[in-house]
Each structure stands twice: as structure tokens, then as C-alpha cells.
Structure 1
Amino acid sequence: MTALLSATGLRVTFPGRRRGSSARPVRAVDGVDLEIGGGEIVALVGESGCGKTTLARALLGLVPPESGRVVFGGRPLEYTSRALTAYRRRVQLVLQDPSGSLNPRHTVYDAVAEGPRIHGLPGDERELVSRALARAGLRPPERFFLRYPHELSGGQRQRVVIAGALALEPELIVADEPVASLDASVRGEILALVLRLRDELGLSALVVTHDLGLAWNIADRVAVMYLGRIVESGPVESVLTAPRHPYTQALLSVLPESGTPPVVLSGEPPDPTRIPGGCRFHERCQALASGEADRAGVAESCRTRAMEVLTGAGVACHLAVAPGGG
């Protein structure tokens, strides 16, 4: 599959929070390769603080990378104002909280029309808004024109946010925890909508989530992120039915349908200003704690030898890539 969007060697570093020369930089995205194909849904999964939202913002051009590059439609992303404006028409962001995304003083019509107005889209504005609302499942669209956000349900507000993105007829949407604030029954409806948009419009999507169950229901491929890097990536069926990285295994174990005892990771993710040597997961790794890595003869490598940046489908784990491992 030809990549619509790709990132190569992407790094994003933030200044340390403390004043003075002793403050260490935060390595939020620490060398990431990622591709999204045309008409493909990719789930980016990981715990809070792993860097997935920063990576999404870097892919959108909202955070300039320290190094690496983003390529969209075969052309490297440029960071001039004009280039970014044109890019963000084709790549749209859908945020987690629809209430925070919508101006309470704007009607649904104005909320959806805002993007076409900013970008100066040609054509009849009323038709653009009607088509976007209908595609987002708000029918008949005219019924919603004069409503305000507080008059809508949570699911309807999220559909308005999606309609605002669709009004610009993008090729890719980046959805950051798009259903986290919704009830379980409404979550399914919004996920079904994203799948329908993929099938009917050929729309690509990067879905950022901490929920591997969501990834299973919606994604074609999944990328698991830990402490600024992708540690496992591949087709969703492969990664979620036969996970090879201990971190992916731990995330999956807490799902009710996993059928395995939950794996309790020790402590919080390490401080991103002090990334440990060796495999960056080794301090919390259940394979090391249980002696499995020792028996496979890779424990010393886990503690001292860093894994290379994961490119394409695969796994960044000494145990998984050892002969007979994972």
C-alpha cells in the first residue's frame, strides 16, 4: 500500500521544566517511523505520557520536529504559514472533547461552516454544510442548523466536530481519543461512522487511543508506543492476537476478553527526561522480572543494549527477536 502520510526519524524535544542549566530536555518523540496508507485506519496506542499525542501533533504540523521529516502525498511537509494552511485542509484534527472543540455561542451551522470560510472553499456554503452534516450522520441536516452545542447529546456534538472536519473534504483525519468522553453505546456509533467514512470516501485515519479494544474494533494496523518510540507495529490481527512485545502483552491482558491474567506493570512510565539505558521498557518488563529473559540469554542485552528505531511492521524487543523468542 502506498503511504499517504509517512514520518521518518521524527524527534520532538521540549525544554526541561526547571529553571537553570540543570534542567533536562523532555524527549517526547524519540525517533519514530510511521506510515498511513490511503483508505487505511491506523491506531496509535499507549499509556498516557508515552508521547502519542505529541507525535500526532507533529504529524499535523502543530509541533515542529527537532529532526526527521513528515511526507504527505509524496511531498515533504513545509513549515511556512501558507504551506501549513494548505496542508491542514487535507489533514484534519478531531479532538477528544467535543464540548471543548465547539464554541458555545456558535450554532451548528456556523461551527461546520467555519473551516470552509477560513480556507475560502468555493461552492455554495449551505450545500457544503448540509453534505458534511449528512455524512456525519446528522439527518436531516437542516434540523441541526440553528441548534447550539448545549442542545445536543454528547454523540451529536462529536458528530458535529467530525462534520466540521469533513466540510473541508480532507484525505486524512487525526482523531485524538475520539470516543473517550462518550457512553459505551454511543462509542460504537462513532466508531461505525469512522469505518463508514473510510469505506465510502476512502478517508484515512490515525486514531490515537490508550484503548487496545478500540484499536481491535476499528484499525487496519496498530502501532504501540512507549516512552517516545514505537515498540510494536503491524496488522491489527497479528499484533492483538499474538503480541510479541511484553508491553503490548501487558496492555492486552487487562481487557476483559483477553482470557489471560492481568499483567501489573511496576511503577509509572520512566521520566522522559531520564530515559533508561538498554531497552527503555526493561525496568518494568515482566519477562525480566519472571526470569524469562534470563532463561533466553538476553537479560543483559535488555538492560544494556538499546533497541534500534522500529521501521515498518515488527517488534523492538530483545526477547522477541532472540532465536526461539516471543
Structure 2
Amino acid sequence: MSTPPLLSAEALKVSFPGRRGAAAARAVDGVDLDVGPGEIVALVGESGCGKTTLARSLLGLVPPTSGRVAFGGVPLEYTGGALKAYRRRVQLVLQDPSGSLNPRHTVYDAVAEGLRIHGYAGDEQAAVARALARAGLRPAERFFLRYPHELSGGQRQRVVIAGALVLEPELIVADEPVASLDASVRGEILALLLRLRDELGLSALVVTHDLGLAWNIADRVAVMYLGRIVETGPVEELLTTPRHPYTQALLSVLPESSVEPVVLAGEPPDPSDVPSGCRFHVRCQVLASGRAQQAGVAAACRGRDLPVLGGGPGSRVACHWAAAVAGAGPASDAG
């Protein structure tokens, strides 16, 4: 029997009202996604694809329009007490440490804030020191009275991570955790997240636009486009043999890629006006090149929607062309 997921989303939708009577923006439009115990899942996609809204909904910061979020198999309740208890077990690590840290607070106060909010009854100083040490700031006491402006970018991000660790959560959601750091420090922070997974059994959902980052840290990858997961699978399989044209395009522009870069046409469509059929078809290089026509799925690409992918382990793709090439035929339950 497979291990039940620690965090799961089922048929999750998040819509925002349109302005002046316009259609609602479908930021998250039917997503199933699981994160298992001790697993790192990378959620990848362009800016505006809905991945940050999805992450915030998983954290309970944005209530879903429909669907559900569950932790440890228990549906999340959107009441003050339930959310407070949940956020002790699931913590957020933000992209910009400079914006996450109050410049008037010392490192000690920044890390101790969560303990104070949750009424921690133990030894606060020992808990803060333990969290800083786990985040790689040693000796921890040397950092207690420092202010954010006295730290390097990498040290500030470690303080943010320590603030998440101090409550000893079971899962962290890291939104672009290394985007603001230079390349050398980026590797150190990624190594830290891996070490925390190995030493503490910590699970993580890492939100990123960078498939190269996913290669270095994730066990599994979910690729998101216009509110939906379009491909998911184990990191090595998905990044070496991507099946969705969108995933292929994202991989083609990585510096280490050996294939010709794919330049996608235009910008992603407005989430208040999602195209019929496959939502990627208006930018799809496979459709534009005639390969979808040759496979006999061009009409399906333009006019037939695809099923929501299951969120658990295993490789899945939502693509008429990929299904046809694999021999499953268009609009199969595999994609």
C-alpha cells in the first residue's frame, strides 16, 4: 500500500471576480496535487500561470472557490483556530528575504515571532538557537542581536528559513526561495533544503519558474500552465523525456539544453478568457508546426478540453498530441 500524502489538493479552484462585470479570472482551475512525507515537489511554470495562488491556497491564505485541501487526510477548515493550528505544521518561506524581515527587528526577534504568536511554552532562546543552527547560522548566539542590514543575502534567507523551522513544521512551502540570490549562494540554500529533508524528514513544495532548480532539488515535478497542471512525474523522467510541448519549451531554454530553444508565441492567455480545447493550443509549437495535424489531433487540440491530472505519484500528461504519439489516442485519461 502506498504512503498517504501529507498535503493534498483535490479539484481545487480559485477564481477572482472580474472588474466591472468582466468574467472571473480562473487563477487555479481544477488542480489535484499531492506532497508525500519527506518528499520535495517542485511546482514549475511561467509568471502568471497560477502557481503562487495555488501555493497560497494550499497554505490557507486564499480560500478555494471549490475543491478541498487536506493535511494528513483531514480537510482544512477555514476558521481562525483551525488555520492557526495548521500553520504551525505548514510554514511559508518567501522569495525576498529583505521584504520578509522587519529591518527594525533583530535576528532573534524575527525567528522568535512564530513562537510568540503560537504561545510557545518551552525555552524560547533554546528553540531560536536550534532553528538558526539548523538553518546553517552557527554559532547561533552570534546572530541573535544582528539586524537584517548587517547580513548577506544568503544569511538573510537562512534567517527566513530559521523562522519557518522554529515551530518544527512537517512541511514548508517555499515560493521562489533562491530567485533573489546569486548563483553561488543559491546552491548553498538548495543544499540546505535537501539536508533538512534528510535530517528532519521535512517535506517541501518549492514554487519556481526554473526547471533547472527543480532538477537539483525535487523528487517530483508538476508543470503548471494557465491554472492547470499539464504534466507531472518523477524529476529525472520528466526532465529527460518531457512529453508536453510546454514542458519541452521550458526545458529548451535552459543553458545546459542541447536542443534548439523553443520561442513560444505571445503571452499566456488571460485567465478570465481561457481558450477552448487544450488551453496551451494558441501557443503550441507542435500545433503550429503541423505535427498535431499529422497525428490526427489538431481538431481535438483546438476544441476538446483535457481531464484534470491526478495528483499522486506516477507520470501523467494532459496533451492530445502526447497521448496520440504514445498510442493512447486523443483525449485519453492519460492526457
1:137 has 2:136 as partner: yes
Corresponding residue for residue 7 of structure 2: 5
Give me the TM-score of the superposition, normalised by structure 1: 0.98
Query: Partners in 2 of 1:34 and 1:192 — Cα distance?
Result: 24
Corresponding residue for residue 50 of structure 2: 51
Which region of structure 1 is more displaced relative to structure 2, 114-123 or 57-66?
114-123
Corresponding residue for residue 171 of structure 2: 172
**Partner secondary structure for residue 262 of structure 1:** coil
- Specify the code of the residue in structure 2 equivalent to 1:319: W
Corresponding residue for residue 34 of structure 2: 35
Q: 1:10-62: per-residue Cα shift (whole Å, max 9, x none)?
A: 0000011x32x3x1110000000000000000000000000000000000000
Q: 1:69-118: per-residue Cα shift (whole Å, max 9, x none)?
A: 00101110000000000000000000000000000000000000000011
Corresponding residue for residue 118 of structure 2: 119
- Specify the code of the residue in structure 1 equivalent to 2:10: T
Query: Partners in 2 of 1:284 and 1:124 — Cα distance?
Result: 56
Please list, as runs of the form range in 1=range in 2, the aligned pairs for 1:1-326 lying within 5 A after superposition.
1-16=3-18, 18-19=19-20, 21=21, 23-312=22-311, 313-324=315-326
Query: Partners in 1 of 2:327 and 2:270 — Cα distance?
Result: 29
**Partner secondary structure for residue 213 of structure 1:** helix
Instruction: Name stretches of at least 5 consecutive residues in structure 2 with no aligned partner.
Output: 329-335
- Specify the code of the residue in structure 2 equivalent to 1:264: V
Query: Partners in 1 of 2:69 and 2:301 — Cα distance?
Result: 31
- Specify the code of the residue in structure 1 equivalent to 2:83: L
Compute the RMSD of aligned alpha carbons.
0.9
Query: Partners in 1 of 2:240 and 2:230 — Cα distance?
Result: 16
Deviation of residue 322 (structure 1)?
Answer: 1.2
**Partner secondary structure for residue 204 of structure 2:** strand
Query: Partners in 1 of 2:226 and 2:236 — Cα distance?
Result: 24
Instruction: Rate the CA distance shift 1:39–1:324 in 2: closer, same or farther, 3 A.
Output: closer
8 Å contact from structure 1 (residues 195, 218) kept in 2: yes
Q: Among all aligned residue pairs of Structure 1 and Structure 2, give the percentage whose two residues are the same amino acid.
A: 81
**Partner secondary structure for residue 129 of structure 1:** helix
Query: Partners in 2 of 1:118 and 1:62 — Cα distance?
Result: 17
Deviation of residue 294 (structure 1)?
Answer: 0.6
Deviation of residue 324 (structure 1)?
Answer: 3.8
8 Å contact from structure 1 (residues 29, 51) kept in 2: yes
Deviation of residue 256 (structure 1)?
Answer: 1.3
Q: 1:164-186: per-residue Cα shift (whole Å, max 9, x none)?
A: 00000000000000000000000
Deviation of residue 122 (structure 1)?
Answer: 2.2
Which region of structure 1 is more displaced relative to structure 2, 163-172 or 311-320?
311-320
Corresponding residue for residue 333 of structure 2: none
8 Å contact from structure 1 (residues 319, 325) kept in 2: no
Instruction: Say how many residue pairs are matched.
Output: 323
Query: Partners in 1 of 2:123 and 2:326 — Cα distance?
Result: 62
8 Å contact from structure 1 (residues 296, 325) kept in 2: no
**Partner secondary structure for residue 282 of structure 2:** helix
Query: Partners in 2 of 1:101 and 1:306 — Cα distance?
Result: 40
Instruction: Rate the CA distance shift 1:161–1:6 in 2: closer, same or farther, 3 A.
Output: same
Deviation of residue 323 (structure 1)?
Answer: 4.9
Instruction: Name stretches of at least 5 consecutive residues in structure 1 with no aligned partner.
Output: none
Query: Partners in 1 of 2:243 and 2:326 — Cα distance?
Result: 12
**Partner secondary structure for residue 6 of structure 2:** strand
Instruction: Rate the CA distance shift 1:323–1:254 in 2: closer, same or farther, 3 A.
Output: closer
